[in-house]
Each structure stands twice: as C-alpha cells, then as structure tokens.
Structure 1
Amino acid sequence: MRERVILHCDLNAFYCSVELLSHPELQKVPTAVCGDPLSRHGIILAKNEAAKKYGVQTAETVWQARRKCPGLQLLPPHHDLYAEYSVKVNEIYQRYTDQVEPFSIDESWLDVTGSQQLFGDGKTIADDIRATVKRELGLSVSVGVSFCKVFAKMGSDMKKPDATTVLDRQNWRQILYPMPVGSLLFVGQATEEKLERYGIKTIGDLAKLEEDDLRGLLGKQGGTLYRYVNGLENEPVRHIDDPDEIKSIGNSTTFRRNLVGLEDIRTGVISLSSLVGYRLRKHALKCYGVQVTIKDPQFNVRDRQTQLQHPTNITREIYSTAMELIQKSWKLRDPIRLLAVTAISLVPEDTGEQLNMFEQSGGRLRLEALDRSLDKVQNKYGKGVVKPASVLKNDIGVD
C-alpha cells in the first residue's frame, strides 16, 4: 500500500492579508483587523507580521494591543470578503486533488497521494500551491506535508509565513518529541496542566506511556492521543463534495454586561440552551454530552463537560446539565463576560436507547414533544416569538 501524502494548508494572517490587498500602503505598517474598538467586542481578530513583532496577539483587546504598539493601524472586518477568498483558495487546491477538506475558513487538508505522478512529490506540490496562491490571489500559505492529518497540521504551524515543512517517517519523532506536550493537536490547557502534574512535559514524554495508561489518565481522549504520538492516526481526508459532518452544536454570547450571580447565569444559560436544543432538533441529532465554556473579564477561559446517561435534544435537559456544570466549577459571584453551551458526542436522533417505564409514559417524551411544538411556532412566525419568561426584559443582551 502506498504511503499517504497529506498536506495541511494554512493561510497566513488571513483576515489581515485580505484587507491589505486593498491597503497596500499598510503592508509594512503594524496593522490589525478588529471589532468595534468602542465596544466590549473590540478584540484583535488578525494582525500582520509588522504588528506581530510588537507582540500584538489575536484575541487580545484593542487597548492591550495599542499599549504594545501605539501606532497600530486598525481595520474593520469584512467577513463576506473572507468567505469569497476562502472559496477561491480552495478552488486552487482542487486543481491538485478532489480530496480537499476545509478545517476552517483559512485552513484545509489535501490528500495528494494519487496526484504525485502528475505534480511531483508532496513538498513539490506544496511549494507549487504556495506560489500559485501568491501569484493569483496575493496571499501567502504555510503548508505542512506528512503521512497523516495531525502531523500535516502541526507542520503548517512550524514555519510562518509562506513556508513548507515536511514531517515524514524519518524525521517526525526527532522534530516533534522535544516539543511541549501542549503543542500536540487537541491538547488544551486543562489537559496540558493535568499531564504536567504527572511529569509529562513533552510530546516524547507522552509517547512513553502505554495506551491503557493514557486511557486511565484521560479516558477516551487518552486513546486518541496515543494514536497521535505514535504516528497511528489515519483519518481520511474527505472528498470536496462530501457533506460536512456536524461534530458539535453550540452557541456563545458575550454579554452586554458581566453576569454576576445565579439569576444572571440562569438567564444566559436558558437562552443559549434553547438555541442549542432547537438546532439539534433541526438537524435530527441528539447529544451524549454537554460542554460549558466560561470567559471572565480578564479573558481567562474555563471549559467543563460531562457525558449523559441518554442522548438528548431536550432544551430543559441541556439547560439543567449546563447549570450543574457551572455550579460545580464556578464561584457564582465571580463575573462572567462570555458563556458558551455546546452539545457534543452527537448521534442521529433515531439512535436506539432503552427508556424506563416512567420515561416512556411521560417525562422525557413529553418534554421533547413540547419542544417540537414550540419549534413549529418559531418556524412559522420567526425566531424569538416564543421565549422563556426568564429572558424577558433582561439587560444582559440575550433574547
């Protein structure tokens, strides 16, 4: 069997690079794309290399960025334009293969295993793609080349801007194992901290553990990370015409003012849970888990999640689970800037499940029927025509 050749293409400073096509005079001037600097949403969305040299970071507030770089030029975002360029870039990728899987608006995986007789080896294809995108669109791309999606993604992050990095069977351990364990794809801050408490500081340290040990430490995620650090990940790159797989459904809100106290939090969570439940039912899905994300005024983020006994798309169950997570992990008097409620571990809504007699005779089935009746009203008369009483006349900016 032929060795797979996977590329991960990552457009450099995408939002800012697109904006600078219309502002060539700012190419070498520290520049960033941001939300409204007069509102609470005024954060840096993207920055160019000149701004990066001053330490300007994505997701920090405008005032923080300007403290580092007083001469920073700010440009408003144009999301429709970014979507147009994303389509154009992916059309270039499709000249090389029909296995193109967008990962986000500015990132895509390509499987070029079967394209090498036409275009050369993986590095040659990556370099040609970079040159073509720059020549035709004026944008730069960093590309990782490897035998699996995870390593290709990590490779594209290693050299920026406008570079190709190859992680092959001969060099991947030498390059990856000395790196901090938090550099591994999908190892978040909480997982990194947990691993470091056990003395696991590098990817190489993680690779020394047996799969059973990692599963005991991290559950299902441990098995996934075992495959990653041993070069065993073999997830295919989807065909460009394959429908996107919905892996989670979530909603988040940055509130008009900070939430403080139980009633504020309840109001925010019921609004978000209602949207999540509605979207699950719309897509004929249920979730086996719920995740809550909390961001405080200092932009510290805390994620918590739990698995459910039965899959659900019932708004009340999503709400009660989210509230339980928050009450277990958050001091209710501490201010909250942003909340997100996300349905995870999704399954088709017709997935079989064993219900007890109480659930069959009433309980959950009645709640689901009520939700679907409310969905029909909203579909007919518009979003927001039916809403929980607790969100009426609130001052936190939800409906």
Structure 2
Amino acid sequence: MTVNQRTVIHCDMNAFFASVEQSARPELRGKPIAVVGSGGRPVITTSSYEARARGVKTGMAVWEGRRLCPELIIVIGDNKKYQHTSTEINRIFQDFTPEVEAFSIDESWLDITHSLKMFGSAETIAYQIKARIKHQFDITCSIGIAPNKLLAKLASDLQKPDGLTIIKPDDVSRILEHMPASELCGIGKKTAATLRLMNINTCGELGRCDEARLTRKFGIIGRRLMLMGQGIDDSPVTPFGEEDEVKSVGHSSTLERDIDDPLEIRRFLLQLSEMVGSRARRYNVAGKTISLYVRYADFFSSWGKQTTIKRHTNQSDEIYRTAVGILETVDLEQPVRLLGISLSNLQHEVEQLPLFIEDRKKLEATKAMDEVNQKYGNMVVTLGSLLPGKEKRGNHVIPPSWRPDGIKNVKCT
C-alpha cells in the first residue's frame, strides 16, 4: 500500500480548556470565559468561542481581554482535568484504530486505513467520534480527513468549530493552488515571511518552486517545503511508545501554551530534570550524556543538542544545570511548544555510598524527595535553590502521563 492510499484523520478539540470548563460548570455555558495558567499569570491560555467573538485571543493579557469584553469571566486552569479528558478522548480514538498519535493535549492523528472495512467509511468513523465525544464530555471537535497527516491537519482547520472536512486525493492540487502557504502546519511566521520575500505566497507556488532555490535559502528543509506545497507527506502516524527506541531515560512535555520567557522555560526544564532524574534513580541507572530537545510553536521546526559530562549522574540538579547550559548556547527563533530532556550513555547498578559527607547528605535528601514525590506526585518537593526567578511553585507543564499509552519505557545499554 502506498502512502497516497492512506486515510488519516486529524481531530482538533475546539477551544479545549475553555470547553472542558464550560462542560464541568454549567453556569459558564454560553458565556465568554478565558482560561489562565495555574500559576496565575495574567495571560490567556485559551478563550471560549463566546469570548473569541468579542476579539479575545490566546496569548492576550487579561487586562486586554477585559477591555474588549468587560463581562469576560476568568477561570484558573486545571491541568489534571484536561489531562484526564484528553486521556479518555484518546481511548475513544483507539476504539477505531490502534494507530493514534497525540500531537498535543487537544489534537491527535488517527490512521484509519485498515479500519475502513470494519466501519464502512472515513466519514462514518468521523461522525461516530464526534458523537461519542459530544455524548461523553459535551464538547465538540473539528475533524479533517485526508491522505496524510499534513493535509488532515489542514482540513481540520478549515471548518471550526465542530466541522468535518474531507480532502480527497484528486482534490489536493485544486485546494492547495490558491491556499496561503502559511496555512500549512510547519510553516511559521518567519518561514512564511521569507517565502513572501521570494515571491512565494501560495501552496501552489511553493510546490512548483525550484528545489535548488529553496535548498539554497532553507538548507535541508528546502525539499520538504517543496513537497509540503504539493501536499506530500509520508510521515507515519506513530502511537506513543512505538517511536524509534533509544537507549535513554527521557521525558518530553507539551506545554499548555507556547512560551518564550527564558525564566518560564527554565522552570519547565527543572520539572523535566526532576522527572528524568527520579526515574533514572528508580531504575538504578546513571548517564553521562544529557540531551535537550525543543520543538517550536509551528510544530515542524525543532532542534536537539547534547552534552557529555565527565562522570555518570542521575542527580536532577546536574541534569538541570547541564540542560540550562545547552539552552544558553542557542538563540530561540520562535516560542516553544514542547521541551524534552533525556539521559543516555547509561551505566547500570550505579548506587554506591559516596565518599564525602556532603555527597552522602545530598544522596539521603534526594532519596527522601523521591519517596515524597512518588507518593504525592512530581514536584511536590524539589530543590528550592534551583528554582529560577522569584516564583517557587507553579506547574504549567502538561506532563506525558496524559498520552494514551502512558510514558516511554527505559531502554538501557
């Protein structure tokens, strides 16, 4: 079966956080609400469609939202509620196909190619998904159906809220011919601006552009951009836990909103370092190579760098400081959507009594923190000296636990 014979669904929950709040609290239904981060920062994470109709948008300051909509209701976000809902929604998806890839907490791809004979048609599957989500959670989603992930996501964006759009293989060229290139997932503001300077505005123009010209300007992604303009995308729908295996202990987390504040990014890195260090200690492994992975807001743009230190470690503070050191060598080009830290070059059965008294005290303190955090949850206790800025608490990370298949297993050398 060729890639073009695939049938892929992209499901995008509509105003997810706000919709979950309105479903859970009947008094908020039909009213303009804005969800803000659990740390109380005055930035709107998402807004209901009633608020959007008044101009209230994601990333807007609360004061600005209230200026546009004086009756705007501010709701403090509840990450656990959103994670639970997302988990259950992904379980619904798995009733139709095992090939489900969670793109973010409110978006997933489903490869339903092998499910069509069982359910009849892609459209039937889509309507059943929409009905079950509406019945179980009283929220809506927009669904796109297409031959690949790129086009399925494009399709889901075309009719919101509660839409269903199908892009058939024979219609791809016609639909893309006059579609702005910036509408494609993976072409962010910076790339779109560069393309406009090259007199490339539409997908049709991008798909016909000389590959060498794009490569000279964009490097190795030039060919990918040309193929995107043609609607070609051969990337598979990869269920969580079935990615290429790596011999490492790692955590990656999708943030509840795109961020570019260096202090906020460091807070998230601290949480991830705690998660990686805790699991490494639980499995009694330590590593010498710390890797940092960053995915930008446009999804396709990302980078990863690593550093190898002198000795094996599974201590969260060392992992954190190394990750921050890597971050400081890079100028971030866009707001960040996902962060990941991994520990590799692993060594087994590393636990031994440290030689120096201070190191022994540190080890005992670490064990005590692990016991508390395993019982009550990650980051209940952490090293206060590591927390950047004045804020000492505030978990804004949507952790990997919400994904349908749980967290990635440890792979050791």
Instruction: Mark yes or no: TM-score above 0.5.
Output: yes
Distance 2:216 2:37 in 1: 43
Change (3 A) 1:380 1:124: same
Change (3 A) 1:287 1:70: same
Please state whether the residue corresponding to 1:142 is helix, strand or coil: strand
Change (3 A) 1:177 1:79: same
1:231 aligns with 2:231: yes
Among candidates 8, 11, 27, match of residue 10 of structure 2: 8
Please state whether the residue corresponding to 1:71 is helix, strand or coil: coil
Please state whether the residue corresponding to 1:234 is helix, strand or coil: coil
Task: Output the TM-score relative to the length of structure 2.
Answer: 0.68
Please state whether the residue corresponding to 2:132 is helix, strand or coil: helix
User: 1:335 — aligned with what?
Assistant: none
Please state whether the residue corresponding to 1:32 is helix, strand or coil: strand
User: 2:103 — aligned with what?
Assistant: 103
Letter in 2 for 1:27: R
Change (3 A) 1:167 1:316: same
User: 2:184 — aligned with what?
Assistant: 184
User: What residue ranges of structure 2 are gaps of 5+ in the alignment?
Assistant: 281-286, 310-318, 347-358, 370-380, 394-413
Kept after mapping to 2: 8 A contact 1:251/1:275: no
Change (3 A) 1:166 1:88: same
Deviation at 1:42, TM superposition (A): 1.6
User: 1:19 — aligned with what?
Assistant: 21
Change (3 A) 1:349 1:200: farther
User: 1:128 — aligned with what?
Assistant: 128
Change (3 A) 1:233 1:347: farther
Please state whether the residue corresponding to 1:204 is helix, strand or coil: helix
RMSD: 4.4
Distance 1:142 1:117 in 2: 23
User: 2:372 — aligned with what?
Assistant: none
Map Cα deviations across residues 119-149 of structure 1 (whole Å, 9 max, x no partner).
Answer: 1221221122112211232111100101111
Q: Percent identical across equivalent pairs?
A: 28
Stretch deviating more after TM superposition (151-160 or 26-35): 26-35
Letter in 1 for 2:196: E
Distance 1:218 1:374 in 2: 51
Change (3 A) 1:162 1:179: same
Deviation at 1:348, TM superposition (A): 5.5
Kept after mapping to 1: 8 A contact 2:251/2:276: no
Letter in 2 for 1:144: G
Please state whether the residue corresponding to 2:133 is helix, strand or coil: helix
Stretch deviating more after TM superposition (112-121 or 196-205): 196-205
1:155 aligns with 2:152: no
Among candidates 29, 32, 41, match of residue 30 of structure 1: 32
Letter in 2 for 1:16: A
1:140 aligns with 2:110: no
User: What residue ranges of structure 1 are gaps of 5+ in the alignment?
Assistant: 260-264, 294-303, 330-337, 351-371
Change (3 A) 1:158 1:312: farther
User: 1:207 — aligned with what?
Assistant: 207
Distance 1:131 1:340 in 2: 30
Kept after mapping to 2: 8 A contact 1:287/1:347: yes
Count of matched residue pairs: 344
Stretch deviating more after TM superposition (239-248 or 15-24): 239-248
Map Cα deviations across residues 140-163 of structure 1 (whole Å, 9 max, x no partner).
Answer: 110010111111111111111111
Distance 1:154 1:374 in 2: 54
Kept after mapping to 2: 8 A contact 1:47/1:57: yes
Map Cα deviations across residues 183-217 of structure 1 (whole Å, 9 max, x no partner).
Answer: 11111222122222222222222112233332221
Kept after mapping to 2: 8 A contact 1:378/1:385: no
User: 2:396 — aligned with what?
Assistant: none
Distance 2:152 2:273 in 1: 35
Task: Output the TM-score relative to the length of structure 1.
Answer: 0.70
Letter in 2 for 1:130: K
Deviation at 1:290, TM superposition (A): 7.3
Letter in 1 for 2:23: L
- Relative contact order, CA 8 A, sep 6+: which one is greater? 2
Deviation at 1:174, TM superposition (A): 2.0
Distance 1:205 1:58 in 2: 31
User: 2:119 — aligned with what?
Assistant: 119
Kept after mapping to 1: 8 A contact 2:97/2:115: yes
User: 1:168 — aligned with what?
Assistant: 168
Deviation at 1:113, TM superposition (A): 0.6
Map Cα deviations across residues 227-248 of structure 1 (whole Å, 9 max, x no partner).
Answer: 3222331111124663698999
Distance 2:226 2:289 in 1: 28
Letter in 2 for 1:61: A
Stretch deviating more after TM superposition (122-131 or 207-216): 207-216
Distance 1:170 1:122 in 2: 16
Deviation at 1:26, TM superposition (A): 3.1
Map Cα deviations across residues 325-370 of structure 1 (whole Å, 9 max, x no partner).
Answer: 45x99xxxxxxxx9999679x89647xxxxxxxxxxxxxxxxxxxx
Change (3 A) 1:79 1:321: closer
Stretch deviating more after TM superposition (20-29 or 144-153): 20-29
